[in-house]
Structure 1
Amino acid sequence: MQISELPTWLTNDYMQSQLRAFHKDTQLNVLKLWSNAATGKGENYVGIVTRIHVELEAAATGGAVAQRTYLLKEACPKDAPQAGMFAEYDVYAREMDMYEHVLPRMTQLLREAGIGDKLHADAVCIDREHGIMLLEDLTLLEYRNADRVKQLDLAHTHITLQMLAKYHASAMVLKQRHPELLARRFQTSFFTRGPKGYAVLFTCLFRGLIRYVQTQPKLKARYHAKLTRLLDNLMEYGARAFDVTDDDFQTLTHGDCWTTNIMFQYDGKGQPTTVVPIDFQFSTRTSPILDLHYFFSTSLQDNVLARETELVQYYFYALKRTLCQFNYKGKLPSLLEFQLQFERRKFLCVVIGLVFQPLMIYTGDESPDFWKLYQDTAEAISFQDSVYESDRAQNIVAQLLPIFDAKGLLDEQ
């Protein structure tokens, strides 16, 4: 942990200025700072997250020397292979807008409605000149991630659906009262027509799925030809799931809601009591159902996912309760209409469930560098194939393919 790991401009004086403003303490003094990586390799592809350790004197400490930590989020280096892809999707400016303008206003709306839930980490500063965000370290509040490999049980799932309901409801009210805040930067998803980066990525990963299916005689006989034909329309069918009209039920979604992007507090018995979402690079204006599909397809244990219809109902009533607290007057579908919309947008699960989920629970020995997800070199293909080597990944494919086929999702749409 060397201070040289920090950007050269991130000095004691810089931190002192930012912390004085954030903590409203003009006498706060930064005595020392140093850093270490906040995420392991393969845990955060979009940027660099560094934990900043600060030794300081402040009014809150009675003038005593104390140590605090904060999270520094930076864009990935400009020479990184994926830098162009993330620039194409405007992920950094989007997340800055979320932390600086959107999330604080959504929190304010929740407070006005009598809902005191924490919706996001506080932003110490948003520095667009240097392209960084300095955020509250949620681990100091005893938030932590659940196990991405074990995935989430029913208690974790329920509390996350409650959080999503409050997130979506407050965003719907925000759009009514402050539409200018969502007028730009929130139209692009993984599947948006036009940008090519994630089209290349999903195509490469889907080819990896097809290669695995080809090695399994029973799966090959039933699904190989269908999956091969599906490849050409993969992104268009995904884009249709995100399409909305003025008549559709829509809001601001999280866009990347899975186990690693949500953090929990726990009681003494190990049960989750509070949940906070993190990482808002792909927040998108579309149907809230897309967050449900993404969350269900990446993060739930099998016995929980088996209760999918019941979980949609659970979320729907949580959303209605929250909107009632806001005295929301907008259009709201019936539960039947919502369930039908859920089924209509289910193609997203084909891609996310069959290629992202195995990747998200990957525990293999190969290095999960981001470039290996979208290149077709021998090394990249070796990693893509290794994603399906585990029993868990193979069981996922074996369970999901018959379900998707029975629903007609593997056929021409």
Structure 2
Amino acid sequence: MLPTWLTEEYIQGHLRAYCQDEQLRVLQLWAKPATEKGGNYVGVMTRLYVDYEDGSGALQKKSYILKQACPADASQSKLFQEYDVYNREMDMYELVMPKMAALLREIGFTEKLTAEAVVVDRERTIMILEDLATLRYVNADRVQQLDWAHTKMTIELLARFHAAALVLNQRYPELLRNNYSSHFFSRGKKGYEEIFTGLFKAFLRYVNTQPSLKERYSEKLEHIAAHLMEYAARSVDVGDKDFQTLIHGDCWTTNVMYQYDDEGSPVTVIPIDFQFSTWTSPVVDLLYLFSTSLRAEVRAKETELVQLHYYALKKNLEKFSYQGVVPSLHEYQLQFERRRFMTVIIANLFQPIMVYAGTEEPEFLNLYQSTPAGVRFQDSMYACEKVKRIVANILPRMPRASWILSEV
């Protein structure tokens, strides 16, 4: 069901402006959901189908993606309003990404950077974007996760993004001055504190069912639980000596899309969904990607991946003739290590949701609340053999991560 304001006349006016064609005439408009239930908690995604006649008289059949804020009565609505994710993403699509794309063209990168915004309607808190599926962009399998080829391509994408953002901030400092400081772990905000606390309780409940894990880690995890959000916030904190830029903020398999050649190999990649783009250290994007989206054999090459990003970032900055201090590789790796606590949070709390393939109801509240339905969903996440392996691999790193953060 389309919103009452979303009429053929509304679409026609915006398409005329976008296509620079005042003779364009919309003939038909219809829609269907663009995601399955549980596929997107931040908003409502609808695929719009538009038949129109352009100024030359040619019939065009196009599809677009309508992104709307959560309904006011949705359980997560206040949460996302608190973090102002909708205004931030509208700013990213309308103001930031087009300028970043123009900057990248200056250094010879001519591929698409992200979906173009056809409509940014701040009064209604909606956007209408290109439908990337029509350009043969698709998501990789979130359960199977990324192999080396996908990972390398994604890290190179992040290096371009981070470099362009640094130069953008030098040329247009006012553009990134507002609305890019809050993140999942922001102090003074309560929404994600409730979510992460609930997720951590579910994680600890699982650990306590495994005798070998309980003996080694339960006491440490109880200590972390009392300081969870502070430790997490420190992992995103930056000081004067830290290398800083605008990051994607939520870079995992669902928020990047790939084109493939005839043999099924990825050839291009673009980012989407910028609700949590934040000004912080670029290694935060790496830690998030590594903790959510990489196959075990790729994650094992973590040091090599950090180096890959560092040299790609440095190469792009050199092409820009960037005037600013770039850390040494050793300093960059230290910034990465100091934030390793993110892997405890993301890998153990978020990744079980991200790779979930069970049958329990994926309602938002079930992710973290201790209702009977919530406990069933949470326990089913940790029943997955893949998630059990993730936990077993991550937990041995926890004491080191906690120790580093305690020294910050």
Instruction: Pick the TM interval, shorter chain.
Output: over 0.9
2:164 corresponds to 1:165? no
2:66 corresponds to 1:72? yes
Aligned residue for 2:239?
A: 245
Q: 2:39 aligns with which of 40, 43, 49?
A: 43
Aligned residue for 1:108?
A: 102
Aligned residue for 2:188?
A: 194
Aligned residue for 2:330?
A: 336
Aligned residue for 1:24?
A: 20
Aligned residue for 2:257?
A: 263
Whether the aligned pair in 2 keeps the contact of 1:265 and 1:275 (CA below 8 Å) is yes
Which structure 2 residue ranges, 5 or more long, are not aligned?
none
Which amino acid in 1 is paired with 2:252?
W
Which amino acid in 2 is paired with 1:200?
E
2:205 corresponds to 1:207? no
Measure, in 2, the Cα distance between the counterparts of 1:162 and 1:53: 33
Structure 1 residue 409: deviation in Å? Answer: 5.1
Measure, in 1, the Cα distance between the counterparts of 2:88 and 2:314: 28
Measure, in 1, the Cα distance between the counterparts of 2:18 and 2:321: 33
Measure, in 2, the Cα distance between the counterparts of 1:118 and 1:400: 36
Cα deviation, 1:237-260, whole Å, max 9, x if unaligned, reads 111111112332000000000000
Measure, in 1, the Cα distance between the counterparts of 2:402 and 2:247: 27
Paired residues, number:
407
Measure, in 2, the Cα distance between the counterparts of 1:71 and 1:408: 42
Whether the aligned pair in 2 keeps the contact of 1:226 and 1:411 (CA below 8 Å) is no
2:317 corresponds to 1:323? yes
Measure, in 2, the Cα distance between the counterparts of 1:203 and 1:279: 25
Structure 1 residue 412: deviation in Å? Answer: 5.7
Cα deviation, 1:89-141, whole Å, max 9, x if unaligned, reads 00000000101111111111111222213211000010011111010000111
Whether the aligned pair in 2 keeps the contact of 1:405 and 1:411 (CA below 8 Å) is no
2:50 corresponds to 1:63? no
Which amino acid in 2 is paired with 1:85?
L
Measure, in 1, the Cα distance between the counterparts of 2:403 and 2:298: 22
Aligned residue for 1:291?
A: 285
Structure 1 residue 49: deviation in Å? Answer: 0.6
Structure 1 residue 78: deviation in Å? Answer: 0.3
Which amino acid in 2 is paired with 1:159?
M
Measure, in 1, the Cα distance between the counterparts of 2:220 and 2:235: 20
Whether the aligned pair in 2 keeps the contact of 1:230 and 1:411 (CA below 8 Å) is no
Which amino acid in 1 is paired with 2:46?
T
Aligned residue for 1:302?
A: 296
Aligned residue for 2:225?
A: 231
Whether the aligned pair in 2 keeps the contact of 1:226 and 1:410 (CA below 8 Å) is no
* Secondary structure in 2 matching 1:54: strand
Q: Which runs of 4+ in 1 moved over 4 A?
A: 406-413
Q: 2:270 aligns with which of 253, 259, 276?
A: 276
Q: 1:382 aligns with which of 376, 384, 395?
A: 376
Structure 1 residue 186: deviation in Å? Answer: 0.5
Which amino acid in 1 is paired with 2:163?
A
Measure, in 2, the Cα distance between the counterparts of 1:406 and 1:178: 39
Structure 1 residue 407: deviation in Å? Answer: 5.2
Which amino acid in 1 is paired with 2:398?
F
Structure 1 residue 406: deviation in Å? Answer: 5.2
Q: How does 1:106-185 map to 2 (within 5 A)?
A: 106-185=100-179
Which amino acid in 1 is paired with 2:80?
F
Measure, in 2, the Cα distance between the counterparts of 1:249 and 1:313: 15
2:344 corresponds to 1:350? yes
| Larger deviation, residues 238-247 vs 352-361 | 238-247
Q: TM-score, normalised by structure 2?
A: 0.98
Q: TM-score, normalised by structure 1?
A: 0.96
Whether the aligned pair in 2 keeps the contact of 1:354 and 1:400 (CA below 8 Å) is yes
Whether the aligned pair in 2 keeps the contact of 1:347 and 1:409 (CA below 8 Å) is no
Describe the shift of the 1:375–1:407 C-alpha distance in structure 2 as closer, same or farther (beyond 3 A): closer
Describe the shift of the 1:406–1:91 C-alpha distance in structure 2 as closer, same or farther (beyond 3 A): closer
Which amino acid in 2 is paired with 1:24?
Q
Tell me the percent identity.
56
Measure, in 1, the Cα distance between the counterparts of 2:121 and 2:405: 48
* Secondary structure in 1 matching 2:238: coil
Structure 1 residue 411: deviation in Å? Answer: 9.0
Measure, in 1, the Cα distance between the counterparts of 2:245 and 2:20: 34
Whether the aligned pair in 2 keeps the contact of 1:69 and 1:137 (CA below 8 Å) is yes
Measure, in 2, the Cα distance between the counterparts of 1:408 and 1:49: 38
Describe the shift of the 1:53–1:371 C-alpha distance in structure 2 as closer, same or farther (beyond 3 A): same
Structure 1 residue 377: deviation in Å? Answer: 1.7
Measure, in 1, the Cα distance between the counterparts of 2:403 and 2:211: 21
